[in-house]
Chain A
Amino acid sequence: MTHTTPRYEFRVFGVKSINPFIEALKSLGQAGKVRHISEIYLMTSGNNNHNIKIRNKRLDIKTLVMQENGLEQWNPEEVGTFPLLKDKIKNQIFPSLGVESPVLDRDVYTLKQFMQELVLEDPDIIVALTEKERFAFEFEGCICEYAEVKINGALQRTLAIESENPDLVCRALEVLKLGEAHENVNYPKALKRVLGLEIDYDINKFF
């Protein structure tokens, strides 16, 4: 079922650096479901406010509603399940990607046709295939998770805290000692960094 009330979210990504926070969550939180999920993210360099992904042939777009006190609020919107009508692709998906829609020859597109004829042919769209192993927790009244995420085969870890109540998220961050010194990195931003779509003019700072 799609969650319809926008939640406030704080998320971090890393490889080894976030392990202490994961251990704290495992120790203090109440463990829930473990889920294995495969998703296709559609990425462009110009899009920062839409999280566009396909899971089990269903395309969802989350839109960044607001940023407040270091937290982000995203609004989920279910676009539909493939096959999708060309009007949805032209008027909903491509505008969210921030790239011009190509001429659409078909009235309806299967997922395979959409990927092969529209996405993989477009030099401005980069695909991130993700395999996630998600470990859910309840902690301080928030929905939390940590996950092992393979992004086109390369691994990162992520930890997220979400709630409709921003005060609960802030409280959970405080208990985990997470937040002040850590950047809130959403999925599109993390993927763009791995894909190199977020131009890093300060690349020298790493050397």
Chain B
Amino acid sequence: MPTPDEIKSRIEGALPGARAEVEDWTGGGDHFRATVIAEQFKGLNRIEQHRLVYDVFGGEIGGPIHALSLNTQVP
């Protein structure tokens, strides 16, 4: 079961320079909420920004990570 810290470091590892804050939304280890601030989002619409983060986790979203609620921002 992933922890908020693991999710944070995977996002920050995949998007160099990004800052992510991740919390376990329900305390159950499968609903997470993340705010991600990344230069990589520049010029992308929201869908594309969220896809960039979802792509870090591939098939885990909807599987072990039931939900990853996102707020994406450009610095």
A and B form one complex: no
A interface residues with partner B (beta carbon < 8 Å): none
